[in-house]
């Protein structure tokens, strides 16, 4: 019995995150870096195995209106952003301009975030 315990003692028993969880975690980091609260956002994404992933960010209050999309490559439990961090940019714009305050329509929200 001691021999079996010795064999398994060096094994990594952590449960690995699914690729979409890794990508969404990276998107949450982008929201926080933009100065926004992740609770104000709804994230939805998809991955093709352990590789390309896409995460869409919407306002929690208007979840059908996609405000930004980021693409990632997930490898070795890390998500690498492919291109511009549009989720961070949208989060920063929403925070800087107060876009989530009293916005009642998707069009007004889009306009607020896209304003120069």
Mind listing the pLDDT tens digit for each residue in 3-36?
Answer: 544 444 455 444 578 999 999 999 999 999 999 9
- One DSSP character per residue, 18-75 reads PHHHHHHHHHHHHHHHTT--GGGEEEEEEESSSSEEEEEEEETTEEEEEEEEEEEEEE
pLDDT for residue 55: 98
Within a domain: 9: no
Within a domain: 34: yes
Within a domain: 105: yes
Within a domain: 62: yes
Structure tokens at 3: 């021999």
Structure tokens at 39: 């609770």
Mind listing the pLDDT tens digit for each residue in 35-90?
Answer: 999 999 999 999 987 789 999 999 998 999 999 999 999 988 899 999 999 999 99
Provide the domain limits for residue 37. Answer: 15-114
Number of structural domains, the chain? Answer: 1
- Rounded Cα distance between 43 and 24, Å, is 7
Within a domain: 10: no
Residue 58: which H helix or E strand, with range? strand 52-59
pTM score: 0.82
């Amino acid at each position: 019995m001691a021999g079996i315990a010795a064999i398994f003692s060096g094994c990594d028993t952590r449960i690995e995150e699914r690729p979409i969880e890794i990508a969404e975690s990276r998107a949450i980091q982008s929201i926080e870096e933009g100065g926004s609260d992740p609770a104000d956002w709804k994230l939805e994404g998809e991955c093709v195995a352990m590789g390309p992933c896409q995460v869409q960010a919407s306002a929690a209050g208007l979840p059908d209106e996609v405000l930004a999309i980021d693409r990632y490559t997930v490898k070795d439990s890390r998500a690498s952003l492919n291109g511009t961090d549009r989720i961070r940019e949208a989060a920063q714009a929403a925070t800087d301009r107060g876009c989530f305050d009293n916005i009642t329509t998707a069009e007004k929200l889009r306009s607020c975030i896209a304003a120069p």
